[in-house]
């Protein structure tokens, strides 16, 4: 069972993602409301996959991806964010995320994206 960590400052989004992916065979091992918490938590939670918001109070998603990547180079990261600025999203991906899902998202689009994340290209 793949271990999932969700990083998002919105409580509603966190539970929406947890619900959608929990029902599709992922074990939710961490919920983080901000970047600092996520970096700290990802060491003990040992997730296989992380969904990451970009705009968050304090440490933003880009910095958070950079830190997590240095702690755990194998984790797969899916950026889940509103598409205000494509350039910012691309920046986040370059820091080491593998995919992007635009908010607002449907449960299907999210589960498909997670499937795609672990597919062989």
Partner 1 sequence: MFGIDLGKYRTIVISIALFLIFDLGVLVLNFFISSEIASDAVNVNLAGRQRMLTQRTAKLTLQLENRAQAGVPQDVELKELIAAFSLFDRTLAAFERGGETASGDGKPIRIAAVDDGVAQAVLADARKLWDPYKARISEVIESGRASPAVASALVTQAERANLPLLKLMNDLTTRVEELAASKATLLRAVQVTGISLATINFLIILFHFIRHLRASDRQLEQARKETDDILRTTQDGLFLLDTQAVIGVQHSAALERVLGTTALAGRSFYDIISPAVTPKTLDTTREYIDLLLRHDVKEKLVASLNPLECVEVQVAQGPGESDSRYLQFGFNRVFENGKVTHLLVTANDITRRVRLERELQASEERAKGQMGLLVEILQVEPAVMNQFLRSAQDGLQHINRQLRDQGSAREVGGETINAIYRIAHRIKGDASALGLSSLATSLHSLEDILNGLRERPALSGEDFLPVTVRVKGLFEEIEAMHLAVSRVAQIRGVVSVEAPRPQHDPGVEALPFVQRWKDFAVRLAGEHDRAVELNYHGIDAETLPDSLREALNSMVNQFIRNSIVHGIEDTDTRRRRGKPEAGRLSVYISARDDGGVDLSFRDDGQGISVSKVRDAAVAAGRLTADEAAAMDSRRIVGLIFEPGLSTRETVDEDGGRGAGLDAVKAMVMQLGGQIRIGSTPGEYCHFRLSLGALPSLAPIDKTEDKAAEEVPA
Q: Does residue number 74 form part of the binding site for partner 1 (CB under 8 A)? A: no
Please give the Cα distance from 93 to 91 (Å, whole number).
5
Helix axes 86-94, 61-71, angle to 10 degrees: 10
Least gap, CB of 48 to partner 1 (angstroms): 15
- Total site size for partner 1, rule CB under 8 A: 21
Among residue numbers 83 through 102, which ones bind partner 1 (CB under 8 A)?
83, 86-87, 89-91, 93-94, 96-102
DSSP 3-state of 74: coil
Residue number, 18 or 93, with CB nearest to partner 1: 93
| Nearest alpha carbon to residue 6 among 45, 63, 62, 59 | 45
What is the nearest approach in angstroms of partner 1 to the Cβ of residue 121?
7
Residue 45 vs 113, nearer CB to partner 1: 113
Alpha helices in 5-78 (DSSP H): 11-22, 35-45, 61-71
- Look at residue 57 and give its three-state secondary structure: coil
Q: What is the contact surface with partner 1 in residues (CB under 8 A)?
A: 78, 83, 86-87, 89-91, 93-94, 96-102, 113, 116-117, 119, 121
């Amino acid at each position: 069972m793949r271990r999932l960590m969700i990083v998002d400052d919105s409580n509603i989004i966190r539970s929406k993602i947890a619900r959608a992916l929990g029902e599709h065979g992922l074990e939710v091992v961490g919920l983080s409301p901000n970047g600092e918490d996520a970096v700290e938590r990802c060491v003990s939670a040992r997730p296989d996959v992380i969904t990451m918001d970009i705009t968050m109070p304090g440490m933003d998603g880009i910095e958070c991806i950079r830190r997590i990547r240095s702690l755990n180079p194998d984790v797969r990261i899916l950026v889940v964010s509103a598409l205000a600025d494509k350039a910012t999203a691309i920046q986040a991906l370059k820091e080491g995320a593998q995919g992007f899902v635009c908010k607002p998202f449907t449960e299907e689009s999210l589960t498909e994206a997670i499937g795609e994340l672990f597919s062989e290209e």
